[in-house]
Structure 1
């Protein structure tokens, strides 16, 4: 029973410190929370929590604040991620449903997360290693030009225009476009990017001599599009929220801002999630391998099409974070983005 009570005391300390940013004393805990014990008992529990390294005194006072280990116990002991209200869920759905393409989805998502949590929001574009070609469409425009439309399983669409060197307005040209469309989709549709580029190059050599120039033009343009898609990117919003938490960074927020500018660092952190699409990951303080981010916490989750995670999103802020709200917001937004990608795939 005493262990359960100590966890209640720890939870109360975390909640009060997150709300007030002031060290929490036993008297305040008794007044604010229904712990059912005296202030002396709470002081004893706090002493034990301090011995266990879960709270500490930032200076000589009766108040205590959680340590990274204390936050970790608090997060791990959350019985479940609290659900957002119906109104919050409706607002998220309406905000994201208006997106017109993947770029718009990412832009809306990162702004939404920053607004919901008042933290720095980070959204990763779908990774090349997890992206596949959904379909390639060829649309004649003008006499000899062809628009190539590359549609990715993550909802991204790339377009290129090439000159085929053939008159596409006559029956022979229409038949050529049909042959290319069929051949290209047979080898590339449903195939990961890395394999699609290799397969597409192979069909050029297999094409009839008369068709080879047109095939070369189309395949070359597709190869360029696939290479551009390989760039791993993240988008951030809400960096100004760090300034509102200046007291949580006693030295400076400079190292944090510098780390955030290194997108490779953020990609590595987001990429260290497991493959469970329902898992909300919380990395607290010193658990972050990046020195500049060890005074922060990262709450993140994967999103994707179907059951496969193709990228991640999350929020980063001080360790004095409202973890239940951050975790609920990240989970809800990730699920809505996944639903959007699923809808795009089914249409």
Structure 2
């Protein structure tokens, strides 16, 4: 089964018994291989596309092949160095996403999809308050996703340096490490614990921060690269229009990526295993990324079921790990 998949992926032609014996030096006759292929066909692992042709793997056959992989193929030193140097040059989270999606499409020669870090899964790393004047404060919200939100807060009364220090300490004590939804409630709850002279300024700052924490506009944003790679695959000839349309629908792409974990695990959905019938001729290889062991978003590729699964899985895992590392160090 492994030989059939490897040959079909590399040659793009249905695989015959004689070719298998010659390429893989199986040490048996073509007749023996034909008998084994007949059993595989009867069990639904391979199929004959037309009379007198060789055999091609089915979704069930690809699933068996992927499940039998003992480990994801490691990246070469050169590949790891190229990924690291390309991603390490990113200047912010948006740049990380854009670089990652381009890199992934180049490595796999497939359609790459990278979800922007999901605000709702992020935690608060730090809140900084900077006095611009006695009545103006710059509130800086730093999240575990690497996202940074800045808001200018206009105060009705002047705020002294010691009062600003107290407010900063109180807010960080209440929200640092909390998931964003919990932090939004916690930041407003601290106002009543402040000194009377600081409460009005605290309420203004808390309201602005709570609003910033509730801005979930990025939760359904994705970056896409490599659509031109569709032209490489004849399998998509009759299905290319719905796929191109789906590339414009971020919600659809997020559904394709599905839920993933940031533990180095790669998820493979083959053909009809996916959630959308229009993608029945494609496979999706995805992984979660985020700081530590927390998945705050997903990335992956969409390509034909006839793909280099070991190489694609290695590329997806490697890029996810590098992006996670970047966010962890941010």
What range is the shorter-chain TM-score in? over 0.9
Which of 37, 43, 53 is the matching residue for 2:44?
A: 53
Q: How far apart, CA to CA, are the structure 2 residues paired with 1:240 and 1:218? A: 47
Q: Which runs of 5+ in 2 are unaligned?
A: none
* Aligned with 1:164 (options 155, 163, 166): 155
State the alpha-carbon separation in 2 of the partners of residues 240 and 252 from structure 1.
14
2:230 aligned partner: 242
After superposition, the C-alpha distances for 1:239-286 in whole angstroms (9 at most, x for unaligned) are: 2211221x112422111222333322332343433x461211110000
Cα distance in 2, alignment partners of residues 100 and 320 from structure 1? 36
What is the Cα deviation at residue 216 of structure 1?
2.6
Q: CA deviation at 1:230?
A: 5.9
| Residues 167, 194 of structure 2: 8 Å contact kept | no
Aligned pairs (5 A) from 1:191-206: 191-206=178-193
Query: Unpaired segments of 5 or more residues in structure 1?
Result: 1-9
2:198 aligned residue (201, 208, 211):
211
2:66 to 58, 75, 78: 75
1:308 to 281, 288, 294: 294
Q: CA-to-partner distance for each residue in 1:13-54, whole Å, 9 max, x for gaps?
A: 211211221111122222222211111111111111111111
Q: Which moved more, 1:28-37 or 1:89-98?
A: 28-37
Correspondence for 2:207 among 189, 205, 220: 220
How many residues are treated as equivalent by the alignment? 329
Q: Which runs of 4+ in 1 moved over 6 A?
A: none
TM-score under structure 2 normalisation? 0.94
User: Could you list the per-position Cα deviations for residues 204-250 of structure 1 after superposition, in whole angstroms to 9, with x for gaps in the alignment?
Assistant: 344444333322321222122112246412221112211221x1124
TM-score, normalization: structure 1?
0.90
Distance between the aligned counterparts of 1:230 and 1:248, measured in 2? 35
Task: Name the CA distance, whole Å, in 2 between partners of 1:96 and 1:260.
Answer: 24
Once the two structures are TM-superposed, the CA of residue 299 in structure 1 deviates from its matched residue by: 0.5
Residues 23 and 271 from structure 1, CA distance in 2 versus in 1: closer, same or farther, beyond 3 angstroms? closer
Q: What is the distance in 1 between the residues matched to 2:15 and 2:7?
A: 7
Residue 277 (structure 1) aligned with residue 263 (structure 2): yes
Distance 1:226 1:87 in 2: 40
RMSD in angstroms over aligned alpha carbons?
Answer: 1.7
- Of 106, 121, 130, 2:97 maps to 106
1:41 aligns with 2:28: no
Where 2:290 maps in the other structure, the secondary structure is strand
2-structure distance, mates of 1:323, 1:60:
28
